[in-house]
Homo-oligomer: A and B are copies of this chain.
Amino acid sequence: MSNETNRSDGRTGVWFVGARGSVATTTVVGALAVHAGLAEHTGMVSELPEVSAARLTGIDRLVFGGHEVAEGSLAKRAEELRAGGVLPPAVVAAVAEELAAVDARVAPGVPPGSVSQRAATGRIEADLRAFRDEHELDRVIVVDVSSTEPPVADDPALNDLDRLEAALDDGGAPLPGSSAYAYAAFRAGCPYVAFTPSPGPRPPALAELAERQRLPWAGSDAKTGETLVKTVLAPMFAMRALKVRSWSSVNLLGGGDGQTLADPVNAASKTATKAHGLEEILGHRVDGPLHIDYVPDLGDWKTAWDMISFEGFLGTRMSMQFTWSGCDSALAAPLVLDLVRLVARAHERGEYGPVPELGFFFKDPAGAGGHDLSGQWDRLVEWCARDTR
């Protein structure tokens, strides 16, 4: 499906914020496995002909590194993911050596609550520049796959780049953790992928910085499970003029992500991005709860149940329910690779600011473009085809 011949020769860096989390680990193991011919391209959108048309960089041209605040190692997390049924034993064994090499490139991250952010972001920026130089990379894409942060209160310093710079000069710490990484990334000339619902590059001051640095970015919050299904089912009801009366959703998940989201303060970002799409697609408010529950027993395997009550001709009441049983990391990892390749291509083409054509991948797409998956696909394909015309 891929068209290797068109790909550029240089190498692209992938720098994870949250480099030893489940998503980052699965991504690295998966990329090494694909490269070694031990795994297929299943789940990789960028290998579909309509998308690979954009002449994307090869998986074998990616070099991984990242920041992490937790102890442990990629090997240890890979072992946990193996025990949990996410990673195949044979693959983990086969890539052990290369995985250790990536682990050696993981630098200490910035824990939340640092006092002066000028110094902290300076250090992150230096790490990024050093990574790019040392490996002679064409570019480095920073991907935030760290724990979800709470939504951020409105702050004038986040709305204007000059005020932000002044606040940082004053020794302040106005940036949420994820935005500190985004700030440093943009300063270092790196495109950015907001895979989580955390603020990251979204406050206006950061969007302004990306613009000024002529850097593309994509976000927010990858659409991998129940929300993905929602964005094909809701348009179905709309196209058929069926009136959705209530839509109730429950998400049960374990794992590190589940633990973070068990805190309602952190979950607030997630429930907000998850809710966006439905009402936008249907054009009206819809009743019904949206739960995210931490059930440790389930590990990386998420079970979501949705119950939709709707009305048809002559007021007839009907319903539909679905259960989604997915492995979150296995769904997320190939999308990380897709996004890295696509954002790298946008950078190469000289595009900058949020890339609305990548809305296909996100629960809360930055830039215009809507939530309907099929419309998002059409826009993505059109964007990819630009290269071949």
Contacts and interface: CB of A to CB of B under 8 A. Distances in A.
B245 A297 contact: yes
Given A45-B240, A305-B305, A88 B250 contact: no
B297 A287 contact: yes
A239 B377 CA distance: 7
Contacts of A113: none
A135 interface: no
Nearest to A377: B239
B322 A327 contact: no
Contacts of A233: 229, 232-233
B30 A313 contact: yes
A interface: dominant SS: mixed
Most chain-B CB neighbours within 10 Å: which of A42, A303, A334?
A: A42
Contacts of A305: 250, 305, 307, 321
Contacts of A26: 313-314
A114 interface: no
Q: How many copies does the complex hold?
A: 4
Interface in A309-332: 309, 311-316, 318-327, 330-331
A85 interface: yes
A315 B241 contact: no
A188 interface: no
A42 B334 contact: no
Contacts of A89: 89
B318 A320 contact: no
Given A87-B314, A314-B39, A297 B330 contact: no
A41 B322 contact: no
A314 B44 CA distance: 11
Nearest to A303: B307
Interface string A275-307: 000000000000111010101111000010101
Interface of A: 26, 29-30, 33, 39-45, 47-48, 85-89, 91, 228-229, 232-233, 235-236, 239-243, 245-246, 248, 250, 252, 287-289, 291, 293, 295-298, 303, 305, 307, 309, 311-316, 318-327, 330-331, 333-334, 360, 372-375, 377-378
8 contacts: A42-B313, A246-B296, A246-B298, A248-B293, A252-B307, A314-B333, A318-B327, A374-B375
